[in-house]
């Protein structure tokens, strides 16, 4: 019996990110109700399971298996004639809804679009109106992504995010058709991955005695010890959960800088002929730390053993090794470092860092993986297979692409989501430049200086979420959303040049998208500014005035 009070949906659904084309909506409607069957073709099993877990839960639908031959059917299929992540979603009253993808990922992204078309109710975990059908207008959507790498970096080293928060993050990435989670697992302020060969990395390195509140110049401290880490089974679960959502988790193990937590756990890793490394603790403040790894065989073997376990947990073809912000003062003062420079006939300490990076590039290549690092790894030369995350601006990415290296564009001045969203003094812990929703929407990942051949090295783009001043899920939500929605459209959709982008249309679609975020419980920054409980009065930030430089 048909449902007499269906849940309506808006024509076009206010889709974010915007699809390539929408044909419709037509005059008819398609109803998903108690009699709707789910016909899952080969290669669509993960999406079928996801649909039952999400839409089934949200609308109280059993979605039993079906053949796809009746009008009341939700059918999933793979058609290799489409691009691997491309899809076609066709809703027709004669045969229901068909989602066809070029591969399993394409089918999944099509299912994400269906969820958006069904309105905010589809983002609830239980039905608000049990027994009521979901209805969508007849329409056909053709879609596919601009970039293969559509990512977000999540820094869990500065402030630990428990496993459930990471799983929630993966769901939010999937809802925005983002497919890379770059997990920043180690830094001066904490080591977050269990390494069974070296238990002190988590026994000691995962915990700090206190934490600076706000910018490093702030006089305030949180005296509560902070820490946590993921067991190897936690990480296997995270990776498997991500894979079901066609998301790759790229681990980052930072070397040779940003390493005080590791040195605190194993003092022999530091420059013992310069400082008493046994006195070092996990760092409790922010900034660039002078305590870096020693360029010794002991250090190389230690991190090879660490990476052996990392490779066993993360099937990602890329492993990020950091390589940024490595002060050379201790190496200049170290007889051991100077001897290594002489032994290798290196020019200076910058070349010593390049040697460090090249060692692990070869080590990863020998094991079928690719090294990726921050753009400082270009200094001193880079092995042919290595890729670059361009963070200091566009320049590193431009230089890398012109040298034949693949790049991921994530310039600090454009897509660092720890930067403040407004110039108002009410912004909580204001850091960096003002980067509004519109600023992010007008970000262009491919520098115009690149030729077509060079631009082909742009794997994609990612937004970076550094958590020095994000000490809770609430703070993460506020800084990340709604800007991640704008970023997702930049990464997925084939937008015109930045100045020609229709920001008014985007904000119109965001009106619908805010209701989805509300249903998901995301504590985003409202368009009118922070709510009272989102403010952090008295906690010092570091705002930078003016427009960010285009470097």
| pLDDT score of 401 more than 60 | yes
Q: Is 506 exposed, middle or buried (0-12, 13-18, 19+ CB in 10 A)?
A: buried
pLDDT at 12 (0 to 100): 52
Whether the Cβ atoms of residue 9 and residue 31 lie closer than 8 Å to each other: no
% of the chain exceeding 70 in pLDDT: 97
β-strands 190-191, 248-255 pairing: unpaired
pLDDT at 8: 42
Question: Residue 334's pLDDT is what?
Answer: 98
Catalytic residue selected from 46, 85, 143, 187? 187
User: How does the average pLDDT of the chain come out, rounded?
Assistant: 95
Provide the token pair at 313. Answer: 């947990």
Q: Can you tell me the mean pLDDT for 472-481? A: 98
What are the pLDDT digits (tens) for 486-513? 999 999 999 999 999 999 999 999 999 9
Asked if residue 10 has pLDDT above 60, the reply is: no
pLDDT at position 384 over 60: yes
Task: Report whether 6 contacts 133 (CB < 8 A).
Answer: yes
Task: Give me the mean pLDDT over the 202-221 stretch.
Answer: 97
Catalytic: 405? Answer: no
* Burial category of 27 from C-beta neighbours within 10 Å (exposed 0-12, middle 13-18, buried 19 and up): exposed
Spatial distance between the Cα atoms of 153 and 139, rounded to a whole number of angstroms = 35
Residue 445 and residue 491 in contact, taking contact as beta carbons nearer than 8 Å: yes
pLDDT at residue 11 greater than cutoff 70: no
* HEC letters along 132-164: CCEEEECEEEEECCCCCEEEEEEECCCCCCCHH
On the question of pLDDT at 7 being above 80, the answer is no
pLDDT of residue 57 exceeding 70: yes
- The pLDDT score that the predictor gives to residue 132 is 82
Range 450-453, long-range pairs (CB < 8 A, 24+ positions): 450/398, 450/401, 450/402
Tell me the mean pLDDT in the region 308-322: 98
35 is catalytic: no
Per annotation, catalytic residue among 79, 142, 325, 444: 325
CA angle 419, 378, 186 (to 5 degrees): 55
pLDDT above 90: residue 390: yes
pLDDT of residue 26: 77
- Mean pLDDT of all residues in 149-176: 98
Task: Return the pLDDT at 9.
Answer: 46
Q: Are 36 and 63 in contact (CB under 8 A)?
A: yes
Q: Mean pLDDT over residues 391-400, rounded?
A: 97
pLDDT at 45: 96
Within 13 Å, how many C-alpha atoms sit on residue 257's CB side? 22
pLDDT band at 360 (very low <50, low <70, confident <90, very high): very high
In angstroms, rounded to a whole number, what is the distance separating the alpha carbons of residues 467 and 503?
A: 28
Band (381; pLDDT cuts 50, 70, 90): confident
**Range 377-390 average pLDDT:** 88
Answer yes or no: are the C-beta atoms of 4 and 31 closer than 8 Å.
Answer: no
User: Catalytic residue at 258?
Assistant: yes
Tens-digit pLDDT profile for residues 213-235: 999 999 999 999 999 999 999 99
> Burial of 67 by CB count in 10 Å (0-12 exposed, 13-18 middle, 19+ buried)?
exposed
Token pair 């209701």: residue: 515
CA count, 13 A, side-chain hemisphere, 522: 30
Q: Which of 258, 320, 419, 457 is catalytic?
A: 258
The residue-averaged pLDDT of 452-463 equals: 98
Name the nearest CA neighbour of 410 among 364, 461, 370. 461
Q: What is the pLDDT of residues 61-105, one digit of tens each?
A: 999 999 866 778 999 999 999 999 999 999 999 889 999 999 999
Confidence of residue 6 (pLDDT cuts 50, 70, 90): very low
Q: For residue 48, give Cα distances in angstroms to 237, 271, 376.
A: 20, 54, 43
Mean local confidence (pLDDT), 181-207: 98
Helix 503-520 with 163-175: angle, nearest 10 deg = 140
> What are the residue ranges of helices labelled H in 412-541?
412-415, 437-441, 452-455, 473-480, 483-492, 503-520
191 pairs with which residues across the strands? 186
- 3-state DSSP assignment of residue 415: helix
DSSP state of 251: E
């Amino acid at each position: 019996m048909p449902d007499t009070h269906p849940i309506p949906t808006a024509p076009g659904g206010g889709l974010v990110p915007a699809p390539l084309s929408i044909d419709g909506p037509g005059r008819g409607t398609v109803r998903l109700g108690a009699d709707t069957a789910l016909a899952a073709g080969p290669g669509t099993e993960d999406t079928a399971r996801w649909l039952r877990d999400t839409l089934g839960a949200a609308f109280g639908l059993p979605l039993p298996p079906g053949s796809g031959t009746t009008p009341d059917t939700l059918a999933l299929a793979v058609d290799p004639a489409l691009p691997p992540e491309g899809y076609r979603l066709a809703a027709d009253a004669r045969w229901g809804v068909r989602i066809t993808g070029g591969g399993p990922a394409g089918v999944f992204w099509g299912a994400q679009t269906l969820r958006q078309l069904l309105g905010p109710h589809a983002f609830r975990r239980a039905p608000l109106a049990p027994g009521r059908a979901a209805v969508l207008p007849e329409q056909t959507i053709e879609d596919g992504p601009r970039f293969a790498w559509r990512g977000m970096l999540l820094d869990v080293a500065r402030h630990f995010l428990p496993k459930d928060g990471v799983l929630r993050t993966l769901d939010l990435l999937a809802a925005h058709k983002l497919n890379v989670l770059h997990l920043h697992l180690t830094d001066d302020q904490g080591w977050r991955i269990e390494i069974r060969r070296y238990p002190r990395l988590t026994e000691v390195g995962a915990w700090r005695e206190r934490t600076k509140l706000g910018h490093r110049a702030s006089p305030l401290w949180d005296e509560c010890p902070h820490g946590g880490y993921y067991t190897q089974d936690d990480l296997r679960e995270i990776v498997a959960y991500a894979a079901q959502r066609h998301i790759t988790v790229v681990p980052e193990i930072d070397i040779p800088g940003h390493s005080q937590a590791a040195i605190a756990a194993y003092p022999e890793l530091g420059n013992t002929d310069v400082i008493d490394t046994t006195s070092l603790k996990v760092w409790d403040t922010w900034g660039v730390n002078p305590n870096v790894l020693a360029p010794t065989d002991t250090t190389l073997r230690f991190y090879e053993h660490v990476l052996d376990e990392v490779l066993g947990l993360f099937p990602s073809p890329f492993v990020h090794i950091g390589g940024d912000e490595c002060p050379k003062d201790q190496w200049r003062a170290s007889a051991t470092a100077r001897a290594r420079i002489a032994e290798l006939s290196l020019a200076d300490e910058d070349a010593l860092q390049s040697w460090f990076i090249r060692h692990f590039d070869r080590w990863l290549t020998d094991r079928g993986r690719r090294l990726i690092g921050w753009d400082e790894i270009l200094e001193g030369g880079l092995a042919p297979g290595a890729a670059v995350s361009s963070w200091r601006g566009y320049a590193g990415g431009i230089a890398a692409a012109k040298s034949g290296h693949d790049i991921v564009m994530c310039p600090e001045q454009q897509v660092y989501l720890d930067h403040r969203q407004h110039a108002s003094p009410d912004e909580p812990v204001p850091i960096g430049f003002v980067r509004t929703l519109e600023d992010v929407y007008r970000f262009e990942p491919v520098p115009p200086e690149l030729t077509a051949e060079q631009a082909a090295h742009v794997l994609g783009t990612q937004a970076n979420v550094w958590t020095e001043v994000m000490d809770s899920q609430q703070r993460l939500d506020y800084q990340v959303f709604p800007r991640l929605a704008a970023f997702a459209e930049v990464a997925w959709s084939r937008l015109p040049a930045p100045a020609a982008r229709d920001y008014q249309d985007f904000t119109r679609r965001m009106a619908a998208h805010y209701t989805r975020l509300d249903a998901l419980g995301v504590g985003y920054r409202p368009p009118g500014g922070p709510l009272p409980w989102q403010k952090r009065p008295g906690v010092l930030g570091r705002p930078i005035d003016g427009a960010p430089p285009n470097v």
